[in-house]
Amino acid sequence: MFDLWEFFPKEERAIDMFFENVVLQGDSLIILTPVKAYNLKEIAWDHQNKHQIADQLKKIVRKDAVMGNSEYRNTLKDFEEIT
């Protein structure tokens, strides 16, 4: 389980290591981000290899972490203004 609110280069390495050492071709995977849930189905492996899937996942997670962090900061700012 990865719980990311900000995205750093270490997270990219962690995703790469996860795909190199844990995920097997044909596995399914559910990815939950602060913005959306994604489902990597077994059929994805018929069209892409581990490296391609990992690269796409890094782009998705990076984008969603930035969006989620922005929404979180805006909510905190709203709370500060209320108080």
Q: What is the pLDDT of residues 6-49, one digit of tens each?
A: 777 888 899 999 999 999 888 888 888 878 888 888 778 888 89
- Residues paired with residue 30 on neighbouring β-strands, in sequence order: 39
Give the per-residue pLDDT at 73. 66
Give the per-residue pLDDT at 21. 95
Of 61 and 43, more confident = 61
The amino acid sitting at 12 is E
Kindly list the distances between the CA atom of residue 20 and the CA atoms of 4, 17, 38, 39, 81, in Å, as whole numbers in the listed order.
20, 5, 20, 19, 46
Give the per-residue pLDDT at 40. 83
